[in-house]
Amino acid sequence: MPFDGARTLDIGCGTGELLGCLKSRSDDLWGVDPDPTALVSAADHGTTVQGDFLTTQLPAFNYIVSVASLHHMPLMPALKKMRTQLKDGGKLYILGLHRLSTPLDYLVAGLSWLPETAESIIRGKTDPEVAMKDPAEDYAEIKSQAEKILPGARIRRRRHYRFSIEWSRT
């Protein structure tokens, strides 16, 4: 993702891990998250705003990223606000979670379990200490809504129960 120093927003930034990774690519980083405790760490990496993305007043952004946070918000209002928060020429990147609903979903999740578990053990990863919520929408629902709200978006099913959306505001 070529953030080229432009104003960038991380929705659901939590402790700011992604903001820290983006620090070398953008001088104007913003994070929004409802958890004030998590934002203490995130503040080291950019401007942080405590609040609900859907109701918080924010400036327009050149780039918006959302990693594992879309399923914490109502889908259509969240996608619409992301669309309106982007400047012309801006880019939106979402890596989200979807509800398992089809045999393919369960097959992919099952095949992913062993390598992901092994990777977690090897790297010493634990579950994040942030609010967790199961996704409400399945992949088909998310894809259908995203295609309506973000025309021309590139939507892909990813490993386990993840998906990605890339969209440019023209």
Number of H helices, E strands in the chain: 5, 7
pTM for the model stands at 0.87
Cα–Cα distance measured from residue 89 to residue 147, given in angstroms and rounded to the nearest whole number? 18
The DSSP 8-state label assigned to residue 77 in this structure reads H
pLDDT of 115: 80
- Rounded CA-CA distance 50/16 in Å is 13
In the chain the domains, ranked by start, together with CATH numbers, are: 8-99+130-168 (3.40.50.150)
pLDDT tens column, 51-60 = 999 999 999 9
- Tens of pLDDT, residue by residue over 121-153, are 888 766 555 567 889 999 999 999 999 999 999
CB crowding 42-64: b at 16 or more within 10 Å, else e: beebbbbbeeebeeeebeebbbb
